[in-house]
């Protein structure tokens, strides 16, 4: 039994196999590092960042919507602002999750070229 074990270990630790395996790993790593996320990732990430910025702005300065659009559909009740905050939160979360999924697809090499 010890002779068999020694032969298995010697075979599995063959220097040529180890070097070849290391070269294959390095080539695969270089190939993955050259991949760039698709345009879809950048759109989703940008939309998530924009909606997060508008969400924070609306929380701290709720009247910016009336100042920019020069209309006051809710007569300063604030209900429109809370609806917009809720919509921005949903948009931020969904866009961020989609961008994360696209990033992971790219990192795993599942994404097609642009």
pLDDT at 89: 93
CA distance 44 to 112: 17
Q: Which segments of 13-78 does DSSP mark as H helices, in order?
A: 15-34, 39-60, 64-69
What is each CA distance from 20 to 7, 29, 69, in whole angstroms? 20, 14, 64
Q: Report the predicted TM-score, pTM, of the whole model to 2 decimal places.
A: 0.60
The segments of the chain whose pLDDT lies below 50 read 114
pLDDT at 82: 86
pLDDT at 65: 81
pLDDT at 108: 77
User: What's the pLDDT tens digit per position in 60-86?
Assistant: 988 888 888 888 877 878 788 888 889
CA distance 74 to 79: 7
């Amino acid at each position: 039994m010890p002779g068999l074990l020694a032969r298995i270990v010697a075979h599995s630790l063959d220097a040529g196999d180890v070097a070849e395996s290391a070269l294959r790993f390095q080539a695969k790593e270089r190939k993955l590092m050259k991949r760039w996320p698709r345009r879809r990732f950048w759109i989703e990430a940008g939309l998530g960042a924009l909606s997060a910025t508008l969400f924070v702005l609306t929380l701290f300065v709720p009247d910016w919507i009336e100042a920019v659009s020069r209309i006051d559909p809710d007569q300063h009740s604030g209900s429109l602002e809370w609806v917009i905050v809720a919509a921005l939160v949903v948009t931020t979360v969904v866009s961020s999750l989609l961008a994360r999924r696209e990033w992971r697809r790219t990192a795993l090499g599942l994404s097609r070229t642009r």
